[in-house]
Each structure stands twice: as structure tokens, then as C-alpha cells.
């Protein structure tokens, strides 16, 4: 009787295991994004504001005098972009920072 129950349990486990296992590989979809590299200065500040659609209601602040970092309110909380980091506009219009080395590994310039 116990062997039959073990067999039934093994059968149930086998049936619930996904085809091909759990581990899968994924490729990022080719999406064109807009981004500004934070290098300081009034022109860069203006470009970030334009990236945001000129909307000053979003919580973007420039920290320091002269500004040396950008603080951006995101769904995950306040994130900061340091000098040479990129500020990216996501597919839903959200802004978020990205370290320059990660950005360069992930994106390529398009015309």
C-alpha cells in the first residue's frame, strides 16, 4: 500500500513539472529608447527636462551647486544618476538612471 502511494506521489510530481524544465533563456526585445548622459551643466539639465516632456510635475531634482547628481522619483523610490550615468526614458514614459558601463553593454546608438 505504501509503495502504491509513493508511486502516485511520483506520478503527480512528474505531471506538474513544466516541459523543458524551469530555466529558460530570454533576449531583450529590440526597443529604441531615448536617453541623456548626465554630464552636468544647464544644457544637460534642459535635455533631461525635455526627455521628461518638459513636465516639471515629475519629481526630478538636481543635487549640489553646481549640480553633480540627478535624483529621480521612480516607482521603486528615489534613484540617483551620478556624473556620466545615463537617464533613460522607458517604453511607458518613465525615467530611470543607468550606469554608463551597463548602458554601453545594453544599448547601441541608432540614427
Per-residue pLDDT reduced to its tens digit, 3-20: 555 455 455 555 555 555
C-alpha 100/C-alpha 63 separation (Å) is: 19
- Domain membership flag for residue 13: no
Query: Is residue 69 helix, strand or coil?
Result: strand
- Domain membership flag for residue 32: yes
CB 95 within 8 A of CB 58: yes
- Domain membership flag for residue 16: no
Per-residue pLDDT reduced to its tens digit, 86-99: 999 988 888 999 99
Segments forming the whole domain that contains residue 61: 21-106
Instruction: Give me the number of domains the chain comprises.
Output: 1
- Domain membership flag for residue 12: no
What is the torsional sign of CA 51, 89, 76, 40? Answer: negative
In DSSP terms, which residues pair with 72 in a beta bridge? 60, 79
Per-residue pLDDT reduced to its tens digit, 34-71: 999 999 988 999 999 899 887 666 678 888 888 889 99
Give the pLDDT confidence score for residue 55 in this predicted structure.
Answer: 64
Give the pLDDT confidence score for residue 65 in this predicted structure.
Answer: 84
> CA triplet 66, 72, 77: central angle to 5 degrees?
135
> Which of 43, 38, 28 lies closest to 88 in space, CA to CA?
38
C-alpha 76/C-alpha 33 separation (Å) is: 20
pLDDT(111) > 60: yes
- Domain membership flag for residue 11: no
- Domain membership flag for residue 8: no
Give the pLDDT confidence score for residue 87 in this predicted structure.
Answer: 95
Amino acid at each position: 500500500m505504501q509503495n502504491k502511494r509513493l508511486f502516485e506521489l511520483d506520478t503527480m510530481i512528474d505531471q506538474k513539472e513544466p516541459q523543458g524544465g524551469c530555466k529558460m533563456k530570454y533576449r531583450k526585445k529590440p526597443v529604441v529608447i531615448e536617453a541623456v548622459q548626465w554630464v552636468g551643466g544647464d544644457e544637460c539639465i534642459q535635455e533631461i527636462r525635455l526627455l521628461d516632456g518638459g513636465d516639471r510635475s515629475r519629481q526630478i531634482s538636481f543635487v549640489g551647486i553646481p549640480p553633480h547628481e540627478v535624483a529621480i522619483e521612480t516607482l521603486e523610490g528615489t534613484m540617483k544618476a551620478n556624473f556620466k550615468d545615463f537617464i533613460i526614458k522607458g517604453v511607458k514614459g518613465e525615467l530611470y538612471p543607468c550606469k554608463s558601463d551597463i548602458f554601453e553593454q545594453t544599448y547601441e546608438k541608432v540614427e
